[in-house]
Structure 1
């Protein structure tokens, strides 16, 4: 059964007990990346293989307050709400409910900045508060999460720029 998590604000991205931050350089422009991140959640499994399914829970137009349902490989499920939709620079959502035991609060941020070569510097942040055992597990999983995020960024870039 899904458990409701503590609602947090954007400040949580800096204050969370566990923060994982990953930076990637993409060839695609920020507006291309932002559209791929936000327009159709159902495309996420095409570039982020840890995601089994994702969908907005209501009709468009999407923006702050929009709901999303996400299932990861392995069965973790999340009900999320969009907190910040600042095209083409920042996309932030928090987890409202999850079936993962021990989670207390979770927020993710996709920050997109133009790079000197005309592409995008992507900074992805996971901010988590959880039981001590879950926080330890997340820290131990960091190298695997980093590989997954790096691979997702590469596939996201390819979807934005083509072959």
Structure 2
């Protein structure tokens, strides 16, 4: 059963009890990466393998996301500042123990490509916080694989 999470703001990214930050450079320009994140919401499952469904809700002010394994989120977009920043908060989730979750994507030019930084900021019950800290390497691999797949997808679209 889905439950409502705490309605934290974008500043939660800096103050969350658990903050996992991952960075990777890609060859695609920031505008293309931002477009894939914020504008092509339904395309997420094509490059982020953990995502099985992603669709806009509320006229583009939110998203419905489903992950492999059955986790479901209802999200609100907190910041869509293209092509530098995209932030969303999970409002409802079926993940037990989760109290608050905000994800921030920061994009900055890196040569002819983009430096992509993803911050996963959450609060939850102690066992969930501990499990997430232990699972940091796996989440980092998921981010790396997703960003590499996104870069390949954008290169194919540009060709």
The one-character-per-residue Cα deviations of 1:51-110 (angstroms, maximum 9, x if unpaired) are: 011101133xx3xxx110001000010000000000100000000000001011000001
Distance (whole Å) between structure 2 residues aligned to residue 70 and residue 94 of structure 1: 12
The one-character-per-residue Cα deviations of 1:15-73 (angstroms, maximum 9, x if unpaired) are: 000011000001000000000111121110100000011101133xx3xxx11000100
Q: What is the match of residue 80 of structure 2?
A: 85
8 Å contact kept, 1:40–1:55 = no
1:44 is aligned to 2:44: yes
How many matched pairs? 157
Q: What is the match of residue 92 of structure 2?
A: 97
Of 107, 118, 121 in structure 2, the residue corresponding to residue 124 of structure 1 is 118
Higher relative helix content: 2
8 Å contact kept, 1:80–1:96 = yes
Q: TM-score, normalised by structure 1?
A: 0.94
Q: Which runs of 5+ in 2 are unaligned?
A: none
1:158 Cα deviation from its structure 2 partner: 1.1
Q: Which runs of 4+ in 1 moved over 6 A?
A: none
Partner SS for 1:145: helix
1:26 is aligned to 2:22: no
Partner SS for 2:42: helix
Deviates more, 1:50-59 or 1:24-33: 50-59
